[in-house]
């Protein structure tokens, strides 16, 4: 029970990767608070994890601060905070799907001639929403966690992405947001280490869940084939990495980004 008795917060814990993380931390002994904009979804995960559900919009700093205060009232000071909440780039995936399919066919023939036009067709509101949820949300969550952990230390784990490491073609907003998470993690980790608050990140590769809004088609198959291990990652594998970084076993990890991507990117 690596996290026995510790209070752990998971944002975006109502489904998918967040749910897997919440259940993994609960299994490790943590008392879990599931933060989610959809309170009903949060309650479902919290019931499975034996924890509490709190409604939270991570793009709103006052909502995050209020959620942190509610967790402290319900469970006590926070020991672990996982910034996982995010939004999928589904609209962008659909917008560029036809051009991406043509590019894939052209690449197989030896020369790509079709412009993707992903950047020029990306609307302002989707850019702002992506950064507000992923990057602003990580900032607000980390700040709230640091306030709670200031006197006793703790661990903060930020969910980045392989797109933040190498940049994913066609998804400049998602790539920028996740690259920002990595840079933010490195900066605040050095600052907070003196307070015994460890901050690290996990950068998953392509997962079995359709997190990018792409269904099993030729593009999705190409993603899988690009991965040297020859398969997509499982959310349980990412959750296990989060548990490690949250535990005392990772006591000498400061500002690191663990690339869990089946060999897609090695650094």
The CATH number linked to 137 is 3.40.50.720
Please give the pLDDT value at position 128: 98
C-alpha closest to that of 87 among 178, 156, 206: 178
In a domain, 37, yes or no: yes
In a domain, 121, yes or no: no
Average pLDDT over residues 11-32: 97
In a domain, 221, yes or no: no
Please give the pLDDT value at position 1: 67
| Distance separating alpha carbons of residues 110 and 104, to the nearest angstrom | 10
| Distance separating alpha carbons of residues 99 and 161, to the nearest angstrom | 24
H/E stretch holding 213 reads none
Of 81, 139, 174, 184, the active-site residue reads 174
| Distance separating alpha carbons of residues 232 and 49, to the nearest angstrom | 26
pTM score: 0.94
Contact 46, 52 (CB under 8 A): yes
**Domain residue limits at 141:** 7-94+128-214+233-260
In a domain, 40, yes or no: yes
Does 171 qualify as catalytic in the annotation?
Answer: no
In a domain, 207, yes or no: yes
pLDDT in tens, 141-188: 999 999 999 999 999 999 999 999 999 999 999 999 999 999 999 999
Contact 164, 182 (CB under 8 A): yes
In a domain, 41, yes or no: yes
In a domain, 224, yes or no: no
The number of distinct structural domains making up the chain is 1
Please give the pLDDT value at position 219: 77
């Amino acid at each position: 029970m690596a996290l026995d008795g510790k209070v752990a917060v998971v944002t975006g814990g109502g489904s998918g990767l967040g749910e897997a993380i919440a259940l993994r931390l609960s299994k490790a002994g943590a008392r879990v608070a599931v933060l989610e904009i959809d309170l009903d979804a949060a309650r479902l995960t919290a019931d499975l994890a034996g924890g509490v559900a709190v409604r939270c919009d991570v793009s709103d700093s006052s909502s995050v601060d209020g959620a942190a205060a509610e967790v402290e009232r319900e469970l006590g000071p926070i020991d672990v905070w996982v910034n996982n909440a995010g939004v999928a780039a589904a609209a962008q995936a659909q917008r560029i799907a036809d051009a991406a399919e043509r590019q894939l066919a052209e690449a197989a023939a030896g020369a790509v001639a079709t412009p993707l036009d992903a950047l020029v067709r990306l609307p302002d509101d989707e850019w702002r929403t992506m950064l507000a949820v992923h990057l602003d949300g990580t900032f607000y969550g980390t700040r709230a966690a640091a306030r709670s952990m200031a006197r006793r230390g703790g661990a903060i784990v930020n969910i980045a992405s392989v797109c933040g490491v190498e940049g994913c073609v066609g998804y400049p907003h998602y790539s920028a947001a996740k690259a920002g998470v990595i840079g933010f993690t490195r900066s605040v980790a050095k600052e907070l280490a003196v307070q015994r608050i460890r901050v690290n990140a996990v950068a998953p590769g392509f997962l079995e869940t359709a997190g990018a809004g792409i269904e099993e088609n030729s593009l999705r198959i190409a993603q899988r084939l690009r991965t040297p291990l020859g398969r997509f990652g499982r959310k349980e594998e990412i959750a296990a990495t989060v548990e490690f970084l949250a535990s005392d076993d990772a006591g000498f990890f400061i500002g690191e980004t663990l690339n869990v991507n089946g060999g897609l990117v090695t650094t």
